[in-house]
Amino acid sequence: MSKTAIYPGTFDPITNGHVDIIERGLAIFDHLIIAIALNPKKAPLFSIDERIEMIEESLGRHSKVSVETFSGLLVEEAERRNARVILRGLRAVSDFESEFQMALMNRNLNSKIETVFMMTGEAYSYLSSSVVREIASMGGSVERLVPKIVSVRLKEKFAGTGLTDEGVFPA
């Protein structure tokens, strides 16, 4: 039976840390669904279409990967897409508590779906999408942190944004 895993997140934007988990996940699973969560608690910088474009371009054409969006419960999305595994990356001990809670809650909601954790590559353990957005918004270089397309899109996003002196992100 083919093994499908779902890799959820906000991906605002995708970083090299995400790509690392995806590439290593592909060595284990037959198919990986990258599931962009429409999270009402987050006010994303990039639209869904922009995030999809950046993910697709970062990974190149890949028959083993699909990019989807979802709202609502992750376990329901996994079930709908016949994924029995949720793939998550762990960056540091600080991730553990919330990931532990999420994995147990997801198991509670659907015991057939298992969460599998991978340790993020050490070069990416300090990386997050918001850190990348912040650096880019202040004109810093993010080229070693994100795929090429993402650094290009970030530059476009922040070109002439008139960022305030306090460094506040534009809405």
Which residue numbers are catalytic? 18, 42, 91, 129
Residue 92 near ligand COA by CB under 6 A: no
Question: Taking the complex as a whole, how short is the minimal distance between the CB of residue 10 and ligand COA, in angstroms?
Answer: 3
d(CA 48, CA 5): 21
CA–CA dist 53, 95 (Å, integer)? 27
Instruction: Restricting to residues 7-36, name those near ligand COA by CB under 6 A.
Output: 8-10, 12, 15, 17-18, 21
Select the span of 23-31, 50-58, 128-136, 149-157 touching ligand COA (CB under 6 A): 128-136
Q: What share of the chain is helix, strand, coil (3-state, %, to 5)?
A: 40, 20, 40
Closest of 19, 29, 40, 22 to residue 132, by C-alpha: 19
Query: According to CB under 6 A, which one of 130, 140, 143, 148 is a site residue for ligand COA?
Result: 130
Give residue number: closest CB to ligand COA.
17
List, as one string, the DSSP characters of 65-100.
EEEEEE-S-HHHHHHHTT--EEEEEE-SHHHHHHHH
Q: Which residue ranges make up the site for ligand COA (CB under 6 A)?
A: 8-10, 12, 15, 17-18, 21, 37, 39, 73-74, 89, 91, 102, 105-106, 120, 124, 127-130
